[in-house]
């Protein structure tokens, strides 16, 4: 059958599961290439925090960085999202998230 659970996909879900990180990524998709300073101005968190989010986005292959003088410019790599567009991947992400809640519940309830 059609079993798909590549690690890259788990990483994408984990990376985009954070709302601040997702907002940064969406902004890069919408507005194109940005510097850390420009992103910080709108992110509502500190520059070190934005840099940390960008590093994780880069690690997941979701953004590219380009150095120019002392500035680093970031841009979105939309092609990295391809695994998520397929419905099987969407449902996999859904069930992974449900199972997270199930584990939380199991830890809470009595034996």
Residue ranges that bind other proteins, judged by CB under 8 A = 1-5, 16, 22, 26, 29-30, 78, 81, 84-85, 87-88, 90-99, 101-106, 109, 111
Closer of 51 and 75 to other proteins (Cβ): 75
Beta strand pairing call for 34-35 and 63-68: unpaired
Closer of 26 and 47 to other proteins (Cβ): 26
Spatial contact of 21 and 59, defined as CB atoms under 8 Å apart: no
Distance of closest approach, residue 105 Cβ to other proteins, in angstroms: 5
Q: CB atoms < 10 A from the CB of 1, how many?
A: 3
Alpha-carbon distance of 78 to 69, in angstroms, equals 26
Closer of 37 and 103 to other proteins (Cβ): 103
Closer of 51 and 81 to other proteins (Cβ): 81
Alpha-carbon distance of 57 to 64, in angstroms, equals 9
Distance of closest approach, residue 24 Cβ to other proteins, in angstroms: 13
Distance of closest approach, residue 16 Cβ to other proteins, in angstroms: 7
Spell out the residues 6+ positions from residue 88 whose beta carbon is closer than 8 angstroms to its own.
2, 4
């Amino acid at each position: 059958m059609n079993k798909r659970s590549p690690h890259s996909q788990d990483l994408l879900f984990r990376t985009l599961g954070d709302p601040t990180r997702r907002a940064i990524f969406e902004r890069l998709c919408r507005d194109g290439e940005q510097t850390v300073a420009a992103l910080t101005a709108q992110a509502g968190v500190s520059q070190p925090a934005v840099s940390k989010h960008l590093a994780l986005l880069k690690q997941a292959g979701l953004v590219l960085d380009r150095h120019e003088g002392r500035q680093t410019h970031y841009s979105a790599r939309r092609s990295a999202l391809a695994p998520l567009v397929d419905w099987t991947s969407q449902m996999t992400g859904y069930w992974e998230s449900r199972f997270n809640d199930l584990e939380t519940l199991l830890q809470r309830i009595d034996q």
